[in-house]
Chains A and B, each alone.
Chain A
Amino acid sequence: MIGKRKRDTTVVSRSKKDGDREESPAATKSSAKDIFRKFFEAQFEPLGIQSGAGAAQEESGFGSGFESDTSENSDSESEWSGITGEDNENVPVEVVDYTTTSTRADDLMDKRARKAFMTAKPPSFSTDLTSTTYHSKQSKDDKGDRDDEELNLKNDLALQRLLKESHLLESASELAPTGKNRHKALDLRMQELGAKNSLFHQKNMPSSMRKGIKAKAASKDEKRRREARENGIILEKPTPKSNSSRGRRERGVGGPSVGKFAGGTLNLSHRDVAQVQSSRRGGGNGRERGRGRR
């Protein structure tokens, strides 16, 4: 900060020190014209216009080089006297300073650029000076966008739920299910999120009851399909029956590996007996081996 202030003051003092401030822009303008003129003359033939005081050459070396250039290019041109060495000796050498005044750089941008550059981090050159305000505005816009996005998402979710659960609603005035219906809606959502079965699924019940429920569901479905077929309505294909009875049932740990344990007795069916007798590597062998080891 202190360095910054000091630098400012020095700049100010310099501009005061210049004194002939009104003259310097004119000088630079004329010198710019001078450059253009030189370029033109190097390409074509010298112009007859006499240059002003500001168009004096900055160095004798440059002047002489220029002169040799012109002499090479146009020997016959007599009206162009050129800048001779004697002239340079007589006229005091004027130094034209091409330094542009730094007043153009506004302080705010300077400060921002300084902040971006003079950090401990390696400066990321990607941030442009001019686009900083744009960035801040854009970020504000971004925030508004984000809010909108959030609201849209919320509305979308509410609509989806309404569509899925509207059959539970009793009246059109109430858009959120209450009481028992709320539980049902929750159950639906749970299933949608991947629950294995419904919250209302009763795990244990008499088998006759379960059979009855299954039979009722099957008959309902069958009736629906039949009516649809009669009316010529095409329904979805019936889901394949899951044959869960086939194959080996998952048994609990600690249960008998053979036979059926019920009422405190192990019942062996004929099949079980045959299996035990037929197999070489039945339970008996293993048990004997285990005892021997013990």
Chain B
Amino acid sequence: MATSQPPIRLTSHKNFVYRLVFSTLTGRTVHISQIRPSSPTNPGLAPHEISFLRLLEAVTNGSQMEISYTGTILVYKPGLITGSAAGAGAGSSGGGVIRHEIPAGCTRGVSYFLLPLCLLAPFSKAPIKVLFTGPGVITSSTPTGDMSVDSVRTAILPLFNQFGIFNNIELRVLRRSNPGPNGRGGGGEVQLVFGHQVRLPKTLHLMNPGKIKRIRGVAYCVGVSASNNARMIDVARGILNPFVPDTYVFSDVSSAPLVPASDRNNPSAKKKTGLGFGLSLVAESSTGCLFSADVASPPSGGQPPEDIGKQCAYQLLETISKGGCVTTAAFPTMIGLMTMGSEDVGRLQVGRDIVGDESAIQLARDLVKFGAPGWGLRDASDEEKTGDVIISVVGRGIGNVGRKVA
């Protein structure tokens, strides 16, 4: 780079992944300080954040990161998003698929990695193919607030279609896993293939939430009886069917994953982990807006599947009741793609609660720090008095800076 801009200075561990993603997309160096400085037991970066940095290192070329001794300060200088180009990145074996191992202590679901990676992927040089594996992959939704892999596939990935990104996108769940004991670790395996790279995503105008026309869902159980699925489905359908008759929830049963648990006596010992069940529901409106809900059994257990089904159905209804065209979970992805879009005003109608959410405001502040123009907010002028807000986002029109620098 000819001119070296000063790093963007940010504090705290909040919105960590999206800060790094926008740093990579805009090509600006970030300096994040005060990462959990007051925690007496584990200050600094958490294992999943370190793992995400490793993932970024694998899909980019030439990125540099420096972490202070205590881990409370991070300087990240982004490189080019190369994706899984042969010869570049980490894993050159196996047809350019990057193997990303997540350590056992990870408490976050794999969607924590998938969502930001999907936001990076359209601006990559080559298709991104990442295999998430290792003893920390949790495919279900987690108590830490991550959505399940099924919701990522059914509620987030279809959103890219609205930006003209639809080819060769796959998310394969090779092995399922719920969170292990104490919510740590799992044994799942997930492969993401994102093969549609664009220069600029299309400008989006999404201002009609429409009416819900169908509900789909996946009930999954790992290492427990399949009747749990049937029970969850039964209750969830009982709640949702009176609203939307076109409700189908599919059941997926899998055995428990085995993770190596080597001890002194038996080095090749394995143990089962990640038992549990969960439900992922997606509602689709007549205009193609997607609303998702996710509930899984807690790692401590003790909750009957009926409760999970009921909670999930109610959560879906709550998500829909918040209004707008996007959910809180999909908000960063949509806004990120709109911000990276062409220099044109895109509009998005969202519910008042969603835009007033802490994470949304944090995202807005971070985007401003990264040089994006502020959002224009105005009340949606609709007859139904939903109280929605229309966000106008001006695209930066830069697409991928890293590609140009190369």
Contact at B154–A99, with CB atoms within 8 Å? Answer: no
Contact at B158–A3, with CB atoms within 8 Å? Answer: no
Q: Which residues of B contact A11 (CB under 8 A)?
A: 230
**Whole-angstrom CA separation of A97 from B241 in the bound complex:** 12
Contact at A3–B218, with CB atoms within 8 Å? Answer: no
User: A122 contacts which of B153, B218, B233, B238 (Cβ < 8 Å)?
Assistant: B153
User: B251 contacts which of A4, A100, A121 (Cβ < 8 Å)?
Assistant: A4
Given contacts A3-B226, A98-B242, A99-B237, whether A123 and B253 have CB atoms under 8 Å apart is: no
Given contacts A113-B248, A125-B158, whether A99 and B171 have CB atoms under 8 Å apart is: no
Q: Which residues of A contact B157 (CB under 8 A)?
A: 122
Given contacts A2-B253, A3-B251, A113-B248, whether A122 and B171 have CB atoms under 8 Å apart is: yes
Give the number of chain B interface residues (Cβ < 8 Å). Answer: 34
CB contacts under 8 Å to A, within B230-256, are 230, 233-235, 237-238, 241-242, 246, 248, 250-253
Contact at A124–B158, with CB atoms within 8 Å? Answer: yes
Given contacts A117-B154, A125-B158, whether A102 and B251 have CB atoms under 8 Å apart is: no
Answer whether residue B396 sits at the interface, using C-beta atoms and an 8 A cutoff: no
Answer whether residue B270 sits at the interface, using C-beta atoms and an 8 A cutoff: no
Contact at B250–A118, with CB atoms within 8 Å? Answer: yes
Answer whether residue B214 sits at the interface, using C-beta atoms and an 8 A cutoff: yes
Answer whether residue A120 sits at the interface, using C-beta atoms and an 8 A cutoff: yes
User: A123 contacts which of B154, B238, B241, B251 (Cβ < 8 Å)?
Assistant: B154
Answer whether residue A202 sits at the interface, using C-beta atoms and an 8 A cutoff: no
* B292 nearest CB across to chain A (Å): 12
**Whole-angstrom CA separation of A86 from B306 in the bound complex:** 31
**Whole-angstrom CA separation of A98 from B226 in the bound complex:** 23
Nearest residue, chain A, Cβ from B217: A117
- The secondary-structure label for the interface of chain B is mixed
Q: Which residues of B contact A3 (CB under 8 A)?
A: 226, 229, 251-253
Interface bits A1-12 vs B (CB < 8 Å: 1, else 0):
011101100110
Contact at A121–B216, with CB atoms within 8 Å? Answer: no
User: A118 contacts which of B218, B227, B234 (Cβ < 8 Å)?
Assistant: B218
**Whole-angstrom CA separation of A110 from B216 in the bound complex:** 12
Answer whether residue B170 sits at the interface, using C-beta atoms and an 8 A cutoff: yes
Q: Which residues of B contact A123 (CB under 8 A)?
A: 153-154, 158, 216
Contact at B158–A98, with CB atoms within 8 Å? Answer: no
Answer whether residue A33 sits at the interface, using C-beta atoms and an 8 A cutoff: no
Q: Which residues of A contact B153 (CB under 8 A)?
A: 120, 122-123
**Whole-angstrom CA separation of A137 from B238 in the bound complex:** 35
Q: Which residues of A contact B246 (CB under 8 A)?
A: 129
Contact at B214–A10, with CB atoms within 8 Å? Answer: no
CB contacts under 8 Å to B, within A62-113, are 97-100, 102, 105, 110, 113
Answer whether residue B294 sits at the interface, using C-beta atoms and an 8 A cutoff: no
CB contacts under 8 Å to A, within B139-184, are 153-154, 157-158, 160-161, 169-173
User: B169 contacts which of A6, A100, A121 (Cβ < 8 Å)?
Assistant: A121
User: B241 contacts which of A14, A99, A122 (Cβ < 8 Å)?
Assistant: A99
Contact at B230–A117, with CB atoms within 8 Å? Answer: no
Contact at B241–A121, with CB atoms within 8 Å? Answer: no
Answer whether residue A114 sits at the interface, using C-beta atoms and an 8 A cutoff: yes
Q: Which residues of B contact A110 (CB under 8 A)?
A: 248
Contact at B237–A102, with CB atoms within 8 Å? Answer: yes
Q: Which residues of B contact A120 (CB under 8 A)?
A: 153, 170-173, 193
Q: Which residues of B contact A98 (CB under 8 A)?
A: 238, 241-242
* A112 nearest CB across to chain B (Å): 11
* B155 nearest CB across to chain A (Å): 9
**Whole-angstrom CA separation of A98 from B172 in the bound complex:** 36
Answer whether residue B288 sits at the interface, using C-beta atoms and an 8 A cutoff: yes
* B72 nearest CB across to chain A (Å): 38
**Whole-angstrom CA separation of A254 from B287 in the bound complex:** 73
Nearest residue, chain A, Cβ from B242: A98
**Whole-angstrom CA separation of A105 from B246 in the bound complex:** 10
* A236 nearest CB across to chain B (Å): 52
Given contacts A97-B238, A117-B216, whether A122 and B154 have CB atoms under 8 Å apart is: yes
Answer whether residue B189 sits at the interface, using C-beta atoms and an 8 A cutoff: no
Most chain A Cβ neighbours within 10 Å, of B193, B230, B234: B230
Answer whether residue B284 sits at the interface, using C-beta atoms and an 8 A cutoff: yes
**Whole-angstrom CA separation of A3 from B193 in the bound complex:** 26
Nearest residue, chain A, Cβ from B156: A122
Q: Which residues of A contact B216 (CB under 8 A)?
A: 117, 123, 125
* B90 nearest CB across to chain A (Å): 22
Nearest residue, chain A, Cβ from B246: A129
Contact at B158–A10, with CB atoms within 8 Å? Answer: no
**Whole-angstrom CA separation of A124 from B248 in the bound complex:** 15
* A29 nearest CB across to chain B (Å): 15
Q: Which residues of B contact A2 (CB under 8 A)?
A: 226, 253
Nearest residue, chain B, Cβ from A130: B246
Q: Which residues of A contact B170 (CB under 8 A)?
A: 120-121
Contact at A7–B154, with CB atoms within 8 Å? Answer: no
Most chain A Cβ neighbours within 10 Å, of B218, B226, B237, B252: B226
Q: Which residues of B contact A113 (CB under 8 A)?
A: 248, 250
Instruction: Report A's interface with B, CB cutoff 8 A.
Output: 2-4, 6-7, 10-11, 14, 97-100, 102, 105, 110, 113-114, 117-118, 120-125, 129
| Interface pairs A-B: 9 shortest CB-CB | A99-B238, A3-B253, A122-B157, A6-B226, A10-B230, A120-B172, A120-B170, A122-B158, A125-B284
6 contacts between A and B (CB under 8 A): A6-B227, A10-B226, A98-B242, A122-B154, A122-B157, A123-B216
Q: In the complex, given contacts A110-B248, A117-B218, A120-B172, what are 20 additional A-B residue pairs having Cβ atoms less than 8 angstroms apart?
A: A4-B251, A6-B226, A6-B253, A7-B233, A10-B227, A10-B230, A14-B230, A14-B234, A98-B242, A99-B235, A100-B241, A102-B234, A117-B248, A118-B252, A120-B173, A122-B154, A123-B158, A124-B158, A125-B216, A125-B284
Instruction: Report B's interface with A, CB cutoff 8 A.
Output: 153-154, 157-158, 160-161, 169-173, 193, 214, 216, 218, 226-227, 229-230, 233-235, 237-238, 241-242, 246, 248, 250-253, 284, 288
